[in-house]
Structure 1
Amino acid sequence: MAKLTDYTRYEDAQAYANSPALWELFEGDRERLNIAHECITRHADGSGRAAVRIAHADGRDEILSFDEISAGAARFAHWLDANGIQPGERIAFMLEPSLPFYVCLFGAMQTGAISVPLFTLFGPDALRLRVDDCKPSILITNAEKADLARSVEGPRVIVADDGLLDEIAKYPASYAPRTRANDLAVFQYTSGTTRELPEAVKHTHRALVTLMFAALYGTGIRPGDEFFCPSSPAWGHGLWHGTLAPLGLGVTTGTFAGRFDPVRLMKALQDYRITNMSAAATHYRMMKNSGKAGDFTFSIRKLSYTGEPIDPATLDFIDETFRVPACSMYGTTEIGVVLVNYPGADDHEVKPGSLGKAVPGQTLQVQNPDGAPSVPGVIGELMLWRRDRWETTKDLAKIDEDGYFYHCGRADDVIISAGWTMSAVEIENTMLKHADVKECAVIGVPDATRGLVVKAFVVSDRAPSDAFVTELQNFTRERLAQHEFPRLVEFVGELPKTPAGKVHRKVLRDREAAAAAALVN
């Protein structure tokens, strides 16, 4: 009998994708399910088949097998039991992708404890906020971060080194999980500033099943793919789409460890013969800006991206470099992935810059302020039908005549100046077409006459000058509208970004507000 993984076409997704068909991909059922078993243990057959390929920033390649991770996770699970850890307790770990990372991630979930991945670049404030929120019994990190971890009150700090692996080696290499499908498995923190704690999203073991809609139709994963996701597994994209989804289907995945380097990524894509990659928009832009893509040979057949829209210049780079369309998938840590572009579906047109169409079973609509559906081409609020009502995504969007969705920025990224409504994203995308603009972020800043005016923060290798500012202003207004251009331009060395790689416009807005307040005082 055919499974969902046997189909690749858009038409088949609409016909066959449903909840019962997703459950057929797993050994567990609606009563009993364990993520670690589904992602690792059931694929550990003694063959030594690769589960994870890790491209280290220093040039090293590390390959971990299903067998190796399965044995280590089982031993770690027994170690947790021996140390009195009970189901429902939180085990936090602040580690780069490595054998200890996967051993801890899956070992904790096997026991019924809750895994809490934490970003390795967290400072003391960010770490303390999350530890205070989830109250882990144990915090596992590396030697470099041990002092930072110990400065936070509460958890027992364990250093994940060869000593830990030696300590757990005395325990059995198999473990029988007893978790229910609705037991909590993962606490996932969204990216945010250190002084504003994003709420932890709490995932059960059955979330792995729901995730497969995004895996099959957002990243296009199928058995036989050589997959890679450079996003950190401390965040939703890297953990769920880059780690759990491919492993759950028995697909070898790849990841990046250490400070991101686009050239190192491209070498890994070449050396690992990657056929399917899902990355953040920033990763593609950095590959373009490196100017080194021509030095490598790629085997890519499917590409997807998330996090934010990709500007047209980077889309052109992707077309020229990889010769396959870049497929957007849209969602958030809270709502999951709901709009996709069906990578690998030969009967689905990928429209450049679009978010695609709904995941099977999801209903979305662009609405006017009065709640009525927006007509094609008109920007409105993107709404999701869930729990028998419309729920806001807090994003703006528009649809075209064919029912494709297009992202038009966060609701708070709209700039209303002298009565004109402008999209920060649209202005950014236009400015990024200028040959001398490497990165750009646009916000609205207060103005006594117009209420708000557009200010652009520009990263460029070209020397700042008044002439350059005028050139950028004219370049933008000629391509958009006479009123739609940055009246203010500031050249910066880099843009603030969330740990997940998105441009953090809120940081820029806060800086401008603080500067304005200082002038008043």
Structure 2
Amino acid sequence: MERPWIKHVVKGNPAEVNIPDISLPALFHESVQKYQNHTAMTFYTKSFTYQQLDTLIKNLAASLHNMGVSKGDRVALMLPNCPQYPISYFASLMCGATIVQINPMYQPTELLHVLNDTETEVIIVLDQLVPLIEKVKPKTSLQAIIPVSFENASKFNELLQDKGLPLPDVTINPKEDVAVLQYTGGTTGRSKGAMLTHYNIVANTLQSHATSVVKTELGKERVLTIAPLFHVYGMTSCMNLTFHIGGNLILVPRFEVDEVVKVIEATKPTVFPGVPTMFITLLNHYKENHFDLSFLKTCISGSAPLPVEAIKQFNALSGTSVAEGYGLSEASPVTHRNPIEGVQKPGSIGIPLPNTDARIVDFATGEQTLPVGEVGELLIKGPQVMKGYWRMPDETAQVIRDGWLHTGDLAKMDEDGFFYIVGRKKEMIITNGYNVYPIEVEDIIYTHPKVMEAAVIGVPDKVRGEAVKAFVVPKEGQQLKDEEITELCRSHLAAYKVPRSVEFLQELPKTAVGKILKRVLKDQIKT
């Protein structure tokens, strides 16, 4: 197939990468050997070298092995960003276990679904959440609860001690053995576990590094890690990639802007993989309280579209350029990224990563490749594409066909091979027979100086079938009227794309990683 994007690969970055058939612990161990005395991670005032981190991982692996954790077992992690996360992650993988990623904000119903679907027997969990785990435990296969405390002695700390126990001796088949069960957000239907093999995640780590080789100083980068590690974006683009390049993983457990600014000023990060809400919030904070971002070399935005206006403003503020990318849980997650130098196209998700193919196909059959500029469904093929959904062969067969992952996202490709997401298939609005892509309307609304956040959905309409509705969060202290939004849209968009109604909210519902939950907004309309 033609790959027009190849000509836009930055000189010095590889167009293809060699992906070794190794496990994630083996990839990590390579970094320990190269960077043993470099700082591997920082958590407020506490830092760990690669050698110290490796020792703690091995101690925990030996303890888990002694507890009976063996190949194929599922070990759940339910933690915020903290040193215990990478330690638990690699120790469990050393035992041959599969990591089950769990959002610490899960409620009992969500938690039960994941624990029972995976038949998890061991969970490593923040001590404050232990009462919740104890509550659901009788309805699950859980055998062991390992609490993590930031302040007190805990069972986890005991397991970190060197007791002279033997390390697990496990043979891992990287292409077949599942390293991580990453549950999709559940924003459409039942949450499903994407089976990501060791090879999938190793591949995506190396592919991601390949997009920034020319700007990466091995062993010297400091990576601001606010994106949660339990989310696939934080796991790969922050944790695994940072360790691969011998960088310092600067762990921040939650996004509170004042706290984040203090961490930025103290640690002077050089790389920031963030999500749109983080960039927008930092921008608005800066206008009232200036702080220095001049040390940033590379900023990456993922998980949801970042409004073009926000990209321009953040670039001007930081002196760097935010490279917007794209990924999904089923692809470990990264598939596209804007080049970090040379041609960048704000509003696009950039070009496919090395070793990755992408194409746009028709809605009807999902097989016919569409011409440049036409909107269809985005398909992905590459070594980062999941093995399938956990115990869901029918659903797997629907989304992976002939090796191509059907993303469910509406997109188009331009003549240079840059891709643009225009929405989800299920979010496209059809009004009076015309297609409206919410992102197109949202991008216009975001240009209004008083707008903090915006989301556009389709709502039932007896005449039009669906009508365009906008939800808007004004900036603090600002007052907005419906007409200001509709007049702005009318001056930039065809009449059928202009919102028929505007609702102002104090905040928009979001996932843990900051993705706006339009399903929740739609449900509110129904009720």
For the criterion TM > 0.5, the same-fold answer is: yes
Q: Secondary structure at the match of 1:398?
A: strand
From 418, 421, 439, the counterpart of 1:407:
421
State yes or no: 1:199 paired with 2:192. Answer: yes
Distance of aligned partners of 1:96 and 1:172 in 2 relative to their CA distance in 1, 3 Å threshold: farther
Residues 86 and 239 in structure 2, CA contact (< 8 A), matched pair in contact too: no
In structure 1, give the amino acid aligned to 2:154. G
- Cross-structure match for 1:183: 177
* Cα distance in structure 2, aligned partners of 1:254 and 1:147: 29
For residues 30-429 of structure 1, what are the structure 2 equivalents within 5 Å? 30=21, 33-40=22-29, 42-43=31-32, 48-54=37-43, 60-153=44-137, 154-155=141-142, 156-161=144-149, 162-164=153-155, 165-172=157-164, 175=167, 177-180=169-172, 181=174, 182-192=176-186, 197-218=190-211, 223=218, 224-258=220-254, 260-290=255-285, 291-292=287-288, 294-335=290-331, 336-343=333-340, 346=341, 348-369=342-363, 371-385=367-381, 388=402, 390-429=404-443
State the match for 1:10 in structure 2.
10
Say whether the 8 Å CA contact 2:59–2:159 is kept in structure 1. no
1:233 deviates by 0.4
> What CA distance in whole angstroms lies between the structure 2 residues aligned with 1:149 and 1:41?
36
**Cα 1:222–1:173 shift into 2, 3 Å:** farther
Q: Percent identity?
A: 24
Are the structure 2 counterparts of residues 337 and 47 from structure 1 closer, same or farther at C-alpha, using a change threshold of 3 Å? Answer: closer
Task: Tell me the alpha carbon deviations over residues 305-336 of structure 1, each in whole angstroms, 9 at most, x when there is no partner.
Answer: 11111112211221111122211221211023
Q: Note the C-alpha offset of 1:262.
A: 2.7
Name the structure 2 match of 1:518.
none
What code does the residue aligned with 1:424 have? P
Question: Quick check: 1:41–1:70 contact (8 Å CA) kept in 2?
Answer: no
Q: SS of 1:22's equivalent?
A: coil
Please report how far the alpha carbon of residue 240 of structure 1 lies from its aligned counterpart in structure 2 after TM superposition: 1.4
Partner Cα separation in structure 1 for residue 171 and residue 525 of structure 2: 49
Shift of 1:196: 5.1
Segment drifting more, 43-52 vs 146-155: 43-52
Please give the per-residue CA displacement for 1:184-225, whole angstroms capped at 9, x wherever unaligned.
Answer: 2222222236x9542112222223331134422456655132
Describe the SS at the equivalent of 2:205.
helix
**CA RMSD, aligned part only?**
2.7
Q: 1:282 to 1:461 in 2, by over 3 A?
A: closer
Q: Structure 1 pair 40/117, CA: closer, same or farther in 2 (3 Å)?
A: farther
Return the letter of the residue paired with 1:157: I
Q: Structure 1 pair 22/251, CA: closer, same or farther in 2 (3 Å)?
A: farther
Letter in structure 1 aligned against 2:185: S
Deviation (angstroms), 1:463: 8.4
> CA offset at residue 295 of structure 1?
2.4
- In 2: Cα distance, 1:359 partner to 1:309 partner: 18
Alignment-mate amino acid for residue 349 of structure 1: V
The one-letter amino acid of 2:338's match is N
Structure 2 Cα separation of the partners of residues 122 and 317 of structure 1: 34
Q: Distance in 1 between matches of 2:407 and 2:438?
A: 18
- Offset at 1:265? 2.4
What is the one-letter code of the residue matched to 2:316? Answer: E
Determine which of 477, 482, 493 is the counterpart of 1:480: 493
Cα distance change, pair 40–82 in 1 and its aligned pair in 2 (3 A): same
Amino acid at match of 2:325: M
For 1:456-495, list aligned pairs within 5 A: 456-461=470-475, 468-495=481-508
Count of residue pairs the alignment pairs up: 485
* Shift in CA distance, 143/383, structure 1 to aligned 2, threshold 3 Å: closer
SS of corresponding position for 1:139: strand
Conserved? CA contact 1:214–1:340, under 8 Å: no
Q: Secondary structure at the match of 2:426?
A: helix
Distance 2:70 2:83 in 1: 23
Change (3 A) 1:445 1:75: same
Q: Give the Cα separation in 2 of the matches to 1:10 and 1:167.
A: 46
Contact 2:299–2:322 at 8 Å: present in 1 too? yes
Measured after TM superposition, the shift of residue 457 of structure 1 is: 1.0
For 1:441, the equivalent position in structure 2 comes to 455
What TM-score comes out, normalization by structure 1 length?
Answer: 0.86
Asked whether the equivalents of residues 34 and 110 of structure 1 are also in contact (C-alpha less than 8 Å), the reply is no
Note if contact 2:24-2:202 (Cα within 8 Å) is conserved in structure 1. no
Instruction: Name the CA shift for 1:168/1:322 in 2 (closer, same or farther; >3 Å).
Output: closer
Query: Quick one: structure 1 residues 159 and 340, their matched pair in 2 at CA, closer, same or farther if it must change by over 3 Å?
Result: same
**Separation of aligned partners in 1, 2:289 and 2:114:** 38
Return the offset for 1:495: 0.7
Structure 1 pair 308–219 and aligned structure 2 pair: CA distance change class (3 A): farther
Answer whether contact 2:31 2:245 (CA < 8 A) is retained.
Answer: no
Q: SS at the partner of 1:87?
A: coil
Cα distance in 2 for residues equivalent to 1:37 and 1:385: 25
Aligned residue for 2:316, secondary structure, equals helix
**CA–CA distance in 1 between the matches of 2:123 and 2:201?**
24
- Deviation readout 1:113-167 (Å, 9 max, x if unpaired): 2222321111212211111111211112122111001111231222124332135
Task: Using the TM superposition, give the Cα deviation of residue 62 of structure 1 relative to its aligned residue in structure 2, in angstroms.
Answer: 3.2
1:159 match: secondary structure: strand
**462 and 360 in structure 1: CA distance in 2 versus 1, 3 angstrom threshold:** closer
Normalised TM-score (structure 2)? 0.85
Query: Which gives a bigger RCO, structure 1 or 2 (Cα 8 Å, sep 6+)?
Result: 2
User: What CA distance in whole angstroms lies between the structure 2 residues aligned with 1:14 and 1:388?
Assistant: 27
Letter of the 1:456 counterpart: A
- How far the C-alpha of 1:438 sits from its partner, in A, is 0.9
Which residues of structure 2 form unaligned runs of 5+? 1-7, 383-400
Cα shift at 1:384:
2.8
Residue type of the partner of 1:203?
L
Q: Write the letter of the residue equivalent to 1:409.
A: G
**Counterpart of 1:22 in structure 2: which amino acid?**
I
Q: Cα gap change, 1:173/1:98 in structure 2, threshold over 3 Å: closer, same or farther?
A: farther
Name the structure 2 match of 1:26: none
Residue 9 of structure 1 and its aligned partner are, at CA, apart by 6.2
Cα offset, 1:283, TM superposition: 1.2
1:188 partner amino acid: Q
Q: SS state of the match for residue 497, structure 2?
A: coil
The alpha carbon displacement at 1:390 in A equals 4.8
Residues 464 and 241 from structure 1, CA distance in 2 versus in 1: closer, same or farther, beyond 3 angstroms? Answer: closer
